[in-house]
Structure 1
Amino acid sequence: MGYLILAVFAGMFLMGFPIVLSILVPSALYIALNGFPIELIGQRMTYALDSFPLVAVPVFIFVGNLMNQAGVTARIFRFADTLVGRVPGGLAQVNIFSSLIFSGMSGAALADVGGLGKIEIKAMAERGFSRAFAGAVTASSAVVGPIFPPSIPLIIYGSVTGVSIVQLLLAGIIPAVVCVLMLMAATAFIAHRRKLPRAERWSRPGEIRDALLPAIPALLTPILLVGGMLLGWFTPTEAASVTVFYVIFISSIVYRELTMAHILYAAYETIKSTAAILIIVSAAALFGWILAIEQIPQSFAATLTSISQDPVMLLMIVNLILLVAGMFLDSTTATLLIIPIIAGPLHAAGVDPVHLGIVAIFNLMLGLVTPPMGLSLFLITDIAQVSMRAILKAMMPFYIPLFATLLLLTLVPELSLFLPKMIR
């Protein structure tokens, strides 16, 4: 029966049904055929949302929307431009560096694309970059957001697996920096080959100071978050609320650009995004409960461990599974459906759960920039006003550093585990 449910799910998904229906219809069918009370559907879905860590998800989405409304993104971009605009690649490097800074506040790739993307692509086009190349840089650098704290996907992963969210957030810092450095190196190489424009000179100390001062309140956000959690001032969920108050404070008191209309619009956008995410969370929890009853995870674990007992080999196999899944499923759905199945056998084989979390989430984030379901690609084509074919062609050189980063994170666990081990 379990494999029949999986077949119905796959068939509905391939026929183009919304992912929520593809999950709920076979789940409801299973419950009806097995004589369970229909109320069980609502009970299991509601129980899945009764999770304190999940509260952080809508709150961090609200943070990203607030920043987009309050002009914080423009100040981040100006500071990054002043600091690295002279590096080969110019504004392309600024684009990547800005994504690292912005991710320390939003925790989501699509927030990065939507928030910084319009500013970055417009500025790059005015400096002589093609809009397709600007879009490719923006989409590639946005992959960093979901692994740098605060990370919404890592929070969801932690709530599903029971792994410490604080350790997961700390584990994402070095991998995010590694990914940024790889992207910047690739961009510098492309810039040298194509003779891309860059700033005419390095910024003077006074210019850097003038750009830094307005950006300092925004730059302090990740320090406040990570420092507060390490010192025990608040949990990751409480950190989300602290961040909201901090962003409202700096946007209304320091920058004086946030209005009630901005707050209401940010709240409205947050409600829409949160509804889309949490309905998938609740539906996937029901589906996962059914698979657990049918012992699908145990069957998969036996199959996986029969192939190999080597942790590295198992991670490589899981990487292939997640890469394929990420091409068709959004990261939240893939995390909720696949991670509970693969986590057990990999932990038993000796893979650290924190290391697995970073590898899995970074892998699934690559799905945002790979066809056919790459959400970042669709958003970028709209913002940049170019065709999908043009974006994919411009993306080709950037797949190399992204997949090289994934390989490096897989083979060198210490990149993910160095900081978490300091607090264990």
Structure 2
Amino acid sequence: MEVSVAGVLFGIFFLLAFTGVPIAFALGIASIVAGSMILPYEIILTIISQRMVSGLDNFSLLAIPFFILAGSLMNHGGIALRLINFAQLFVGRMPGSLGHVNVVANMLFGSISGSATAAAAAVGGTMAPLQKEAGFPPEYSASLNITSCVTGLLIPPSNVMIIYAVTAGNISIAALFVAGYLPGILMGLLLIAVGYIISKRRGYQTSQEHSLRDALKAFIAAIPSLSLIFLILGGIVSGAFTATEASVVAVLYALILSMFFYRSIKISQLPKIFMESAVTTSAVLVLVAMSISMSWVMARAEIPQTITDALLTISDNKIIILLIINIILIVVGIFMDMTPAILIFTSIFLPVATKIGMDPMHFGIMMIFNLCIGLCTPPVGVALFVGCSVAKVSVKQVLLPIMPFFLALLIGLALVVAFPQLSLWLPELMGLIDRPN
């Protein structure tokens, strides 16, 4: 590896990113400049253009626009309130129950929509006035909403999992989807546990008990929305369709559910929804294309191999190496959005992880869990800003109340890192990956 190539590549990228240049452009410019140190400028432009096009020519990437569209349809379909009512059936009698309802509803809504910010806005926007009326401090409600909205990124369908699988290569998207269930549920349960302790100490009230009739009504109303989760998982596990085909099924189901069952979306709204989904998809796929060019430059300059060798010279202790990787990813997550972070650092740290005997699927879940924490932190955390906005509080007001929930997320991350079977047991049980001998 030429050290100067790595220095120029990362130096230009971070300089442009921190000065406000869009991440996609920062990736492309850094790749062209650093690549020109390896091959002539004209050749680099041709190679990078070819790499971007060929990198997007991947059948698995078709799942991204369809899942984004399905999530957008569900977001506009008015399912948040139905899921909130359903969540109350499970945690409605616990101290501080409205906070726990927020967590469970975010887990459900986030997994259906595939978006942390959509969950923070839809569920948080509904729950914030209810919690304020019940005597919950707005900063507490916001903290719980912010940290729980990211659970849906681990509970499939999840676009970031698709991006990781494509970037890592030779990773089954279906198996990765299933691998995320237990870590995602663990994340939610830890947040509920912290919320329970705080609510018990402060004497936050429980919700009113529901009659059997109301409970049955809430359950029936939520069944159509919840069925999407089981439809996707069941179809993938049974082999009825692939993860990419499942995204098309999700769109069709969401369209029928929103237009004909709930009747919450009109035909006149569809062009706007399609346009929103197209814009979001374009932003994601441009990032993917640009990151592919950076990955090529890094591979050509042997940057991943050099970083692997450097980390292994620091220590041959697996725990120390994983600790270093996680600290770096936490710092990265604070300053960078999740998608470009996965695209860039998968190719850097995955070789290190496999070198020390870590399963690539386990590493992927660890990486996604880690970067989820970054979505809740300033200065770039979009979940933080959306959560504060819907709760009508400032970022400064939530910095202290959110700390116990950050601690819960860090404990969850440590458990996921320490116990690989939290990620691998379900895929092994369902035959999606081979059991170790």
Q: TM exceeds 0.5?
A: yes
Between the two proteins, the alignment pairs up a number of residues equal to 423
Give the aligned partner of residue 354 of structure 1. 361
Give the aligned partner of residue 76 of structure 2. 69
1:243-268 deviation per Cα after TM superposition (whole angstroms, max 9, x unaligned): 11111112222212221133222212
What CA distance in whole angstroms lies between the structure 2 residues aligned with 1:183 and 1:228? Answer: 30
Task: Trace 1:17-416 onto structure 2 (pairs within 5 A).
Answer: 17-32=21-36, 34-35=39-40, 36-37=42-43, 38-162=45-169, 163-200=171-208, 202-416=209-423
1:396-421 deviation per Cα after TM superposition (whole angstroms, max 9, x unaligned): 12111111100110111111111011
- Contact kept, 8 Å, 2:8 with 2:34, in 1: the verdict is no
What CA distance in whole angstroms lies between the structure 2 residues aligned with 1:27 and 1:206? Answer: 61
Deviates more, 1:167-176 or 1:125-134: 125-134
What CA distance in whole angstroms lies between the structure 2 residues aligned with 1:46 and 1:274? Answer: 16
The amino acid across from 1:3 in the alignment is G
Identity of aligned residues (%): 34
- Contact kept, 8 Å, 1:104 with 1:221, in 2: the verdict is no
The amino acid across from 1:190 in the alignment is I
- Contact kept, 8 Å, 2:110 with 2:150, in 1: the verdict is no
SS for the counterpart of 1:325 is helix
1:304-338 deviation per Cα after TM superposition (whole angstroms, max 9, x unaligned): 12223333332222111110110111111110111
- Contact kept, 8 Å, 1:323 with 1:367, in 2: the verdict is yes
CA RMSD of aligned residues (A): 1.6
Q: CA deviation at 1:39?
A: 3.1
What CA distance in whole angstroms lies between the structure 1 residues aligned with 2:140 and 2:72? Answer: 26
What CA distance in whole angstroms lies between the structure 2 residues aligned with 1:183 and 1:70? Answer: 27
- Contact kept, 8 Å, 2:75 with 2:113, in 1: the verdict is no
- Contact kept, 8 Å, 1:113 with 1:139, in 2: the verdict is yes
Q: CA deviation at 1:139?
A: 0.9
What CA distance in whole angstroms lies between the structure 1 residues aligned with 2:83 and 2:142? Answer: 18
- Select the residue among 1, 4, 9 that pairs with 2:8: 4
SS for the counterpart of 2:415 is helix
Deviates more, 1:262-271 or 1:34-43: 34-43
SS for the counterpart of 2:198 is helix
Gaps of 5+ in 2: none
**Runs of 4+ off more than 4 Å:** none
- Contact kept, 8 Å, 1:121 with 1:384, in 2: the verdict is yes
What CA distance in whole angstroms lies between the structure 2 residues aligned with 1:311 and 1:263? Answer: 51
SS for the counterpart of 1:393 is coil
- Contact kept, 8 Å, 2:167 with 2:347, in 1: the verdict is yes
- Contact kept, 8 Å, 1:147 with 1:362, in 2: the verdict is yes
- Contact kept, 8 Å, 1:155 with 1:165, in 2: the verdict is yes
- Contact kept, 8 Å, 1:83 with 1:208, in 2: the verdict is no
The amino acid across from 1:54 in the alignment is L
Q: CA deviation at 1:122?
A: 2.7
Deviates more, 1:67-76 or 1:289-298: 67-76
What CA distance in whole angstroms lies between the structure 2 residues aligned with 1:360 and 1:2? Answer: 22
1:272-316 deviation per Cα after TM superposition (whole angstroms, max 9, x unaligned): 222221111111111111111111011001011222333333222
Q: CA deviation at 1:345?
A: 2.1
- Contact kept, 8 Å, 1:323 with 1:364, in 2: the verdict is yes
The amino acid across from 1:153 in the alignment is V
What CA distance in whole angstroms lies between the structure 2 residues aligned with 1:114 and 1:194? Answer: 26
Q: CA deviation at 1:86?
A: 2.1
SS for the counterpart of 2:241 is coil
- Contact kept, 8 Å, 2:179 with 2:365, in 1: the verdict is yes
1:186-235 deviation per Cα after TM superposition (whole angstroms, max 9, x unaligned): 101010111123213x3233221111001101111111111100110111
The amino acid across from 1:235 in the alignment is T
The amino acid across from 1:165 in the alignment is I
Q: Cα distance 1:58–1:126, how it changes in 2: closer, same or farther (>3 A)?
A: farther
Q: TM-score, normalised by structure 1?
A: 0.96
Deviates more, 1:259-268 or 1:236-245: 259-268
Gaps of 5+ in 1: none
